């Protein structure tokens, strides 16, 4: 299967994520869209990793390559989990104070 | 490596000492001990004696520039703890945890300054960012703080997504995350990947250093966060991200300047314009300093724009001048109740020494000769002139520096030439002595910038 399809899929998912972040008003949904962006990146990294591994194997059958991108994916997952824990805590803190997670409330700082 | 390890360990030590020490005011002392330990560890780093002497298969590189830059950041951290430590303790119930998060940020700063692999850059930027989201919302009951934390978090994670997409495309082109391999991308097939990757990484880093047009979160977050943490975010953190920005562009993308030079030039010009012009209209000094930090980021972007030897010297000096001056100003601002310009009326009569130090700091930010800010601006602009192109940008920057004099001098004018009811400021003598030390450092660096710059070559 050509690499192009993976790239189109990843870019489409990423764009949906970006569009969601820019247009939705609910903090949780925005947050889900950010996660979608990160997962699009994971997909793309794995696809590229396979692509580079195939090229390297064609040249040298005993080559070990393309592993680092798959490792990178694990790092992204771990960091995303750390981010979720902090982010949800902030959203909960906000909900306790104003009983809403709508980002339209975020205008007190604009004088 | 010493710095990265020691600051991570000291963060944990801070948390546990919060458990075992009952006295709240011990936090500052423990943090100070840690910061001094970082400084000693970093000096050992500079002379090549490390706890773990490994570059982890080329993932880190111990370049003198990065290590020296970290020394400046640690010195700024020590000054910050000494000047504002008491105010950090006053923010909330968990002073030890706030300092622990600050140490974790320093660990991330170490990774960002010494990375040689995009994985380390990504991890470093995240380790810097995530504790900052918490620090921004540290004052849990304050609605403004809540709002700032949520905004910072959403914008920060969004820019992380863009950074990762850029890294993925660069990997597609180069087949590796190593910086040297990125510099060697030659294959004609991958020009689109490389360009998209470079632009996305650049946009994400511009978000993090609050360069226009990605600056819109900065004033709100800096305004809403507790003032002590604004001081930390605007100085040490910003400088730390900048060194990652510069190192990436010098080591990986310097050979492909066609694909990004114009974009960086436009970002620089926009940052200077928006930062300086909007700062003129602010009523609150805290918010003015937020816009001024955007404007100063514009000047630091010149170093990234030029990517040559002078830009390293320029960024080093600029970071030192900017960090010390801004930490000094914020340290006084935290003690005040009224953040408007009127709050500074008649300060020179009540507190002549503090007013003098603030004047030196503001003069340095404006780039007046005999202060560190002058040579800092001179070096970054000279780096841009040396590239021989885009001279209009340098001229524009000088005009914008003249605009910045207006809003910095508004504070000086309020302090010296306006009568008014001064708010009561209770300042201890050691605090004042430290402020004088900050002013002295700024003036010494302004007269002999070579004291710092020579260390790039000798030690």
Q: What is the pLDDT of residues A76-98, one digit of tens each?
A: 999 999 999 999 999 999 999 88
Tokens read off for B144: 């403004």
Give the confidence band of A6 by pLDDT, cuts at 50, 70, 90.
very high
**CATH code of the domain in which A47 resides:** 1.10.287.3510
Provide the pLDDT for residue B381: 94
pLDDT for B298 beyond 80: yes
How many angstroms separate the CA of residue B43 from the nearest CA in chain A?
31
Nearest CA in chain B to A107: B147
pLDDT value for A10: 96
Kindly tell me if the per-residue pLDDT of B121 is higher than 90: yes
Q: What share of chain A has pLDDT > 70, as a percent?
A: 95
B282: contact with A, CB 8 A cutoff: no
In a domain, A82, yes or no: yes
Query: For the ranges A53-62, B213-222, B223-232, which has the lowest average pLDDT?
Result: A53-62
Q: Any idea which of A76-80, B262-266, B319-323, B425-429 has the lowest mean pLDDT? A: B425-429
Closest CB to A83 among B149, B157, B224: B157
* Residue pLDDT, tens place only, A19-30: 999 999 999 999
Mapped onto helix, strand or coil, the DSSP state of residue B284 is: strand
**Within an 8 Å CB–CB cutoff, is residue B158 touching chain A?**
yes
This prediction has a pTM of 0.94
d(CA B426, CA B437): 19
Using a CB-CB distance cutoff of 8 angstroms, which residues of chain A are in contact with residue B291? none
In angstroms, the Cα distances linking B175 to A1, A66, B245, B312, B338 are: 19, 7, 21, 28, 55
Binary contact (B158, A37; C-beta < 8 A): yes
Q: Could you tell me if residue A110 is inside a domain?
A: no
Shortest Cα distance, chain A CAs vs residue B161, angstroms: 6
Residue B110 pLDDT > 80: yes
Six token digits for residue A23: 């247009």
pLDDT of B350: 85
- Residue B290 counted as domain residue: yes
pLDDT over threshold 80, residue A62: no
Contact B164 A76 (CB under 8 A): yes
Instruction: Indicate whether B227 belongs to any domain.
Output: no
For residues A32 and B155, is the Cβ–Cβ distance under 8 A?
A: no
Please report which confidence band the pLDDT of residue B385 belongs to, taking 50, 70 and 90 as the band edges.
very high
Of A38, A44, A94, the CB nearest to B146: A94
B407 is a domain residue:
yes
Domain with A53, as residue range(s), is 3-105
**Which percentage of chain A shows pLDDT scores above 90?**
64
Please state, in angstroms and rounded to a whole number, the distance separating the CA atoms of residues B253 and B166.
13
- Is some CB atom of chain A closer than 8 A to the CB atom of B161? yes
Q: Residue A103 and residue B176: Cβ atoms within 8 Å? A: no
Is residue B79 predicted with pLDDT exceeding 70?
A: yes
- CA-CA distance, A98 to A57, in Å (whole number)? 58
How close, in Å, is residue B249 to chain A by CA atoms?
Answer: 21
Number of structural domains (chain A) is 1
Tell me the average pLDDT across A41-50. Answer: 94
Per-residue confidence at B187, pLDDT binned at 50, 70, 90? low
Tell me: pLDDT of A38 over 90: yes
User: What tokens does B44 get?
Assistant: 């050992």
Q: Does A59 fall in a domain?
A: yes
Number of domains forming the structure of chain B: 1
Decide: helix, strand or coil at residue B109: helix
Measure the CA–CA gap between B367 and B446, rounded to whole angstroms. Answer: 10
* Each residue's pLDDT tens digit, B33-51: 999 999 999 999 888 888 8
Tell me, yes or no, whether B438 lies in a domain: yes
- Give the domain range for residue B351: 260-459
| CB contact burial B376-388 (16+ within 10 A = b; e otherwise) | bbbbbbbbbeebe
Higher-confidence residue of B50 and B105: namely B105
Residue B276 has pLDDT above 90, yes or no: yes
- The token pair that represents B132 in the structure block: 């900052």
Q: Give the pLDDT confidence score for residue A103 in this predicted structure.
A: 85
pLDDT of residue B188: 67
Q: Do B268 and B393 contact (CB within 8 A), yes or no?
A: yes
What per-residue confidence (pLDDT) applies to B422? 66
Between the alpha carbon of residue B354 and those of residues A58, B359, B404, B440, the distances in Å are: 70, 9, 22, 13
Q: Is the confidence at residue A111, as pLDDT, over 60?
A: no
Q: Does residue A86 form part of some domain?
A: yes
Contacts of residue B139, Cβ cutoff 8 Å, sequence gap at least 6:
B91, B92, B145, B226
Reading the block at residue B16, the tokens are 């546990």
Which residue from B171, B71, B195 is spatially nearest to B121, judged by alpha carbons? B171
Say whether pLDDT at A61 is over 90.
Answer: no
- Model ipTM value: 0.95
* Shortest alpha-carbon distance between residue B287 and chain A (Å): 10
pLDDT band at B53 (very low <50, low <70, confident <90, very high): confident
How far apart are alpha carbons B70 and B67 in whole angstroms? 5
Asked if residues B381 and B434 have their Cβ atoms less than 8 Å apart, the reply is no
pLDDT of the residue at B290 = 94
Contact A76, B196 (CB under 8 A): no
Q: In this predicted model, which residue has the larger pLDDT, B183 or A12?
A: A12
Query: What does the pLDDT read at residue B412?
Result: 93
Question: B378 pLDDT band (50/70/90 cuts)?
Answer: very high
Please check the confidence at residue A59 and state whether its pLDDT lies above 90. Answer: no
Rounded to the nearest angstrom, the minimum Cα separation between A62 and chain B is 17
Whether B421 shows a pLDDT value over 80: the answer reads no
Rounded CA gap, B315 and B300, in Å? 6
Reported as a pLDDT band with limits 50, 70 and 90, residue A109 is low
pLDDT grade, residue B459 (50/70/90)? Answer: low
A80 in a structural domain? yes
What are the residues whose beta carbons fall under 8 Å from the beta carbon of B125, sequence distance 6 or more? B108, B112, B160, B163, B208, B241, B244
Task: Give dist(CA B109, CA B112) in Å, integer.
Answer: 5
Q: What is the mean pLDDT of residues B343-354?
A: 87
Query: Per the domain annotation, does A85 fall within a domain?
Result: yes
When the pLDDT of each residue in chain A is averaged and rounded to a whole number, the result is 89
Q: Which helix (H) or strand (E) holds B86?
A: helix B64-91
Interface residue B177 vs chain A (CB under 8 A): yes
**Chains A and B: how many Cβ contacts under 8 Å?**
121
Question: Residue B458 has what pLDDT?
Answer: 67
- Report the length, in residues, of chain B: 459
* Residue B388 covered by a domain: yes
Per-residue CA distances from B89 to B96, B146, B364 (Å): 8, 19, 29
- The pLDDT confidence band at residue B190, using thresholds 50, 70 and 90, is confident
Task: Tell me if A111 is assigned to some domain.
Answer: no
């Amino acid at each position: 299967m050509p690499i192009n399809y993976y790239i189109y899929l990843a870019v489409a998912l990423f764009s949906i994520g970006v569009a969601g972040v820019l247009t939705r008003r609910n903090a949780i949904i925005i947050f889900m869209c950010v996660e979608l962006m990160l997962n699009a990146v994971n997909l793309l990294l794995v696809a590229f990793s396979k692509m580079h591994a195939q090229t390297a194997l064609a040249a040298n059958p005993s080559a070990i390559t393309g592993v680092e991108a798959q490792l990178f994916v694990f790092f992204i997952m771990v960091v995303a989990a750390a981010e979720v824990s902090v982010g949800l805590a902030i959203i909960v803190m906000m909900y306790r104070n104003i009983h809403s997670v709508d980002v339209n409330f975020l205008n007190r700082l604009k004088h | 490596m010493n710095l990265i390890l020691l600051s991570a360990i000291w963060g944990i030590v801070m948390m546990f000492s919060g458990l075992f020490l009952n006295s709240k005011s011990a936090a500052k002392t423990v943090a100070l001990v840690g910061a001094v330990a970082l400084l000693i560890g970093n000096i050992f780093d500079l002379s090549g004696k490390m706890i773990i002497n490994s570059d982890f298969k080329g993932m880190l590189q111990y370049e003198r520039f990065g290590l020296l830059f970290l020394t400046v950041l640690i010195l700024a951290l020590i000054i910050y703890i000494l000047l504002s430590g008491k105010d950090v303790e006053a923010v909330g119930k968990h002073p030890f945890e706030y300092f622990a998060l600050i140490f974790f940020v320093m660990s991330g700063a170490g990774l960002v300054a010494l990375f040689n692999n995009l994985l380390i850059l990504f991890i470093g930027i995240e380790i810097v960012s995530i504790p900052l989201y918490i620090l921004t919302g540290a004052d849990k009951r304050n609605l403004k703080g809540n709002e700032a934390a949520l905004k910072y978090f959403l914008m920060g994670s969004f820019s992380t997504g863009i950074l990762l997409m850029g890294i993925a495309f660069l990997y597609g082109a180069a087949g590796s995350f190593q910086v040297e391999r990125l510099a060697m991308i030659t294959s004609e097939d991958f020009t689109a990947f490389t360009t998209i990757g470079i632009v996305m990484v650049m946009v994400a880093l511009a978000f993090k250093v609050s360069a226009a047009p990605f600056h819109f979160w900065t004033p709100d977050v800096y305004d809403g966060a507790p003032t002590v943490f604004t001081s930390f975010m605007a100085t040490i953190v910003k400088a730390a991200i900048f060194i990652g920005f510069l190192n990436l562009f010098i080591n990986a993308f310097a050979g492909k300047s066609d694909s990004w030079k114009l974009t960086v030039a436009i970002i620089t010009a926009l940052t200077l314009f928006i930062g300086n012009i909007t700062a003129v209209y602010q009523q609150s000094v805290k918010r003015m300093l937020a816009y001024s930090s955007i404007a100063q980021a514009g000047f630091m972007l010149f170093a990234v724009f030029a990517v040559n030897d002078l830009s390293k010297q320029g960024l080093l000096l600029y970071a030192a001048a900017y960090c010390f001056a801004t930490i000094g100003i914020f340290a006084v601002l935290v003690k005040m109740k009224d953040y408007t310009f009127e709050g500074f009326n008649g300060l020179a009569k009540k507190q002549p020494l503090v007013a003098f130090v603030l004047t030196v700091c503001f003069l340095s930010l404006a780039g007046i000769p005999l202060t560190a800010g002058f040579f800092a601006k001179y070096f970054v602009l000279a780096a841009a002139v040396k590239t021989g192109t885009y001279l209009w940008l340098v001229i524009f920057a000088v005009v914008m520096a003249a605009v910045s004099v207006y809003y910095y001098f508004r504070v000086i004018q309020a302090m010296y030439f306006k009568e008014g009811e001064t708010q009561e400021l209770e300042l201890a003598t050691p605090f004042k002595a430290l402020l004088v030390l900050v002013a002295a450092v700024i003036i010494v660096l302004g007269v002999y910038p070579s004291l710092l710059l020579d260390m790039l070559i000798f030690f």
